[in-house]
Structure 1
């Protein structure tokens, strides 16, 4: 198989393999297939002819268009901030807890649907990246909705604007305890993670820089409506020394000083490269990209253009070099297979069992990536899911409601699912899909020996069985 990650089919091991890619002609279809798997969530069943006939440049312009942005619509009634505040103040917490649970679930489902259907694929994919980068994990549903919209609206805008919006959001201020950051007793949580995880990376600052910047962020908070407040009474007005500069800094000054550092652009570029291109970083290329990112004053779209309009993005070493995250896997399956869900919870349970639930990153560092998504149990489950969706197999497990430690991946956090969920795939509308070379359509880098094995297994069976068999292989986990 490909350079990078190789799945060994029969013992479900993940190993590193330095073999060369199988060589095949990168025509428009193959390039666009690679593009939509990285800049979006995979092939859509309605767009096969488009992938064949459009140039990658034109196709990229289409999926990177942000004109389709609109606020997520939920299937349950929301509350105004004032109504939510009153509900939260009540002595009986059951109503507010129930609202948070139901509304958080509605937000997740609505965003999931946008990932499937939105023509602005890059915007939604980028928002998912920022959701893992600026990770928050709280129960307050309105705060969660706000920060997801910050990610979606600013996904391809200016990184400076995004950092400021996130830093002033109730979700982030709550999650990293800046509500408790007061001049008499500074709290360093937000200041530390701002530099370590969100902007500079380790080694670019000192413990003193953390302490001094924490003082600058004293007073940054939010009111009962979730609106940002700058409490001057709690702000430390004293002189601070930060990253070699000295003045009476406030939080905005700290962010601007950080963004003056080329190291910030390089850190963000490196993370974006690993998310979109290859887990194995190309330091020289990342350095070049980051310099252009910095010179553009942190224009995210300009950086994505540099990546997706380049020839090297389509090089053999980058084809099939990434493991799909659970969200990418499940959304991708729903894009390629038109289906109705009588119980939509089943697909979100798939994601949760595999270790990724929207609004619930495991910690402030966000979700893992690459081979970290795979172990013996999750690979087996990944390979079973397409057959479960097609109705060929059943799944008798579901994640526990509150699995904060293992993200659903431990047997101790699995219970019997007594309900049978029903999914209807519209095979009748998939004639154009089933007439394709399904191996080239579904796999990032088809393996001839695997093709032969699956073809023999599906002798005298229907093309839909063949399609599900291909989607049930380790190879399908790669993009």
Structure 2
């Protein structure tokens, strides 16, 4: 049976790698060394401390003659600034640097919440500053309460624009947000039982939910500040709110939510509705299935549904939808490490194809990519490196526009049966995915248009500073493989990779001599060429596509 019992044995390197890459966006040898020998529970708990962002806010270095700078803290109207698309990308660059700078569950869970309460930053979220507030809201609740976020998200200015709820009035209802709120954000559909009706809710429930949501408006100047988060929010307009009682279907026990009597009472009505939705067992199960797909694997059987999903959903309910008790239980469990049956290599570890985002963060953190400092070299970081290379080129060609999925359903890899995460790997995405490491090694965008990216990955420094035996080709390759891959590789694969260091027909000491010669005379020409080729081959190998 599948088991949520805590893993009893200390983490070895294999399990430490599994936890670190699944739970954070910062995958380093140093942190692996820390995890090895720890209990799973202690290692997971070490990731749950929230700390302040390294970068407090994003910076726009354009226009060069008079930069908009820290425009998100400006008192000017958000839509008064030019370059809104660029600014939204800069916000993603701000978030990415913070995620890369800390070893924490916070950033992984923040992105998980983005997959639950999806907006497309370039497809209706409004001005860049509203998107910034939206990301901060997800960050704020990343280690917190999903139900509370499900209440706050309704008055998020970006969400109000994205799903048109700011246009939802008592005399002209707009059901877009209400429909997605039930279908995608919270309880999900369940089995269809009629035209537009499902086991978890009906078309009538959508109509009633739209009435609950009526009258919540975007505040253009961000002057309304949520007292709990300190983040700007929308506001309650009672004149545009439906003033009738809302009666829901049998799916919700025919519950009646009493109409608000004034603008302040609209918040009570909203909370009553969210509490009603979250009182359903299926809502908790929906989130736990999403968590399982995000952290563990895309598909599971009835045993996992019974032994893992159902008890996790009860933990979520028992903790009033605090997310950490569920996630720490899952990531500390025998099941997560595939230690709950007789075959520890058949289910979980290496079972997910990495997203392009995951691929990027692992390469940059493991090899300590030297990219421009966003605090002192703002133009080269935000514009040359992140906007033009990472955002506009790599992630797009690799099939993942960050924070801009094609639809409100999110990234297909997290919901689209039967392919799920296999969607990340296709003939359309291979060029971007495979040219990432090449671009980072030579410091130029080799995908298109071959411009400098002002970032460079140093393979020699990696070998010299991170590996115990860089002079021995077999030990070097084995150690790199043990860092990069979910599972150890066999001798055939080692010998294949060795061809990038040692010419065919030459003995192993050929590489040793090259390495020693480099240490003696500091001429890195031959060493660099061979190490670059090796790292490129090992990153682009099938083994590295999995986690």
Q: Tell whether the structures are fold-level matches, with TM greater than 0.5.
A: yes
1:322 aligns with 2:390: no
Q: What's the offset of the Cα at 1:340?
A: 2.4
Distance 1:151 1:56, change over 3 A: same
SS of 2:402's equivalent?
coil
Distance in 1, Cα, partners of 2:74 & 2:442: 46
Distance in 1, Cα, partners of 2:145 & 2:52: 18
Contact 1:379 1:474 in 2 (8 A): no
1:303 aligns with 2:313: no
Query: 2:466 maps to what in 1?
Result: 433
Query: 1:275 maps to what in 2?
Result: 294
Distance in 2, Cα, partners of 1:267 & 1:62: 27
SS of 2:81's equivalent?
helix
SS of 2:456's equivalent?
strand
Q: Higher mean Cα deviation, 164-173 or 349-358?
A: 349-358
Q: What's the offset of the Cα at 1:393?
A: 8.6
SS of 1:41's equivalent?
coil
Deviations 1:419-441 (A, max 9, x none): 34343224454234333611121
Q: What's the offset of the Cα at 1:50?
A: 1.8
- Within a 5 Å distance, the mapping from 1:338-349 to structure 2 comes to 338-341=368-371, 343-345=384-386, 346-348=389-391, 349=393
Distance in 2, Cα, partners of 1:156 & 1:335: 23
How many residues are treated as equivalent by the alignment?
427
Query: 1:233 maps to what in 2?
Result: 239
Query: 1:469 maps to what in 2?
Result: 537
Contact 1:212 1:241 in 2 (8 A): yes
Q: What's the offset of the Cα at 1:380?
A: 4.1
Match among 3, 6, 21 for residue 37 of structure 1 = 21
Match among 120, 127, 151 for residue 140 of structure 1 = 127
1:385 aligns with 2:443: no
Query: 1:371 maps to what in 2?
Result: 422
Distance in 2, Cα, partners of 1:378 & 1:396: 11
Distance 1:423 1:69, change over 3 A: closer
Distance in 2, Cα, partners of 1:56 & 1:27: 6
Instruction: Note the aligned Cα RMSD (angstroms).
Output: 2.4
Query: 1:247 maps to what in 2?
Result: 257
Q: What's the offset of the Cα at 1:467?
A: 2.9
Q: Higher mean Cα deviation, 55-64 or 301-310?
A: 55-64
Distance 1:477 1:207, change over 3 A: same
Deviations 1:311-355 (A, max 9, x none): 111013100001111111111111011222353132332112212
Distance 1:394 1:240, change over 3 A: closer
1:421 aligns with 2:453: yes
Deviations 1:174-229 (A, max 9, x none): 11111111011111011111111011011310000000111111101122224321
Deviations 1:45-84 (A, max 9, x none): 4434324354433322222221345774223323367733
- Within a 5 Å distance, the mapping from 1:41-190 to structure 2 comes to 41=25, 43-68=27-52, 72-76=56-60, 77-79=69-71, 83-85=75-77, 88=79, 96-98=81-83, 100-120=84-104, 122-137=105-120, 138-190=125-177
SS of 2:201's equivalent?
coil
Deviations 1:234-282 (A, max 9, x none): 1111122112212334332211110111110000000010000111133
Distance in 2, Cα, partners of 1:167 & 1:186: 16
Contact 1:388 1:394 in 2 (8 A): yes
1:456 aligns with 2:499: yes
Contact 1:45 1:338 in 2 (8 A): no
Q: Higher mean Cα deviation, 339-348 or 435-444?
A: 339-348
Contact 2:91 2:132 in 1 (8 A): yes
Structure 2 gap ranges (5+): 1-8, 61-68, 191-199, 223-232, 260-268, 339-344, 372-379, 414-420, 469-475, 504-510, 512-529
Q: Higher mean Cα deviation, 258-267 or 307-316?
A: 307-316
Distance in 2, Cα, partners of 1:80 & 1:41: 25
Q: What's the offset of the Cα at 1:395?
A: 1.4
Contact 2:26 2:103 in 1 (8 A): no
- Give TM-score, length-normalised by structure 2: 0.73
Deviations 1:408-461 (A, max 9, x none): xxxxxxxxx153434322445423433361112101124424333223344256
Query: 2:403 maps to what in 1?
Result: 359
Query: 1:395 maps to what in 2?
Result: 446
Query: 2:278 maps to what in 1?
Result: 259
Query: 1:199 maps to what in 2?
Result: 186
Structure 1 gap ranges (5+): 1-24, 89-94, 398-416
Match among 218, 223, 228 for residue 214 of structure 2 = 218
Distance in 1, Cα, partners of 2:280 & 2:317: 9
Distance 1:425 1:224, change over 3 A: same
Distance 1:311 1:80, change over 3 A: closer
Distance in 1, Cα, partners of 2:532 & 2:451: 26
Contact 1:470 1:476 in 2 (8 A): yes
Contact 1:219 1:231 in 2 (8 A): yes
Distance in 1, Cα, partners of 2:15 & 2:367: 21
Which protein has the bigger strand share? 1
Q: Higher mean Cα deviation, 278-287 or 313-322?
A: 278-287
- Give TM-score, length-normalised by structure 1: 0.83
Contact 1:323 1:478 in 2 (8 A): yes
Deviations 1:82-120 (A, max 9, x none): 7332x63xxxxxx6342x234322211111111211132
Larger Rg: 2
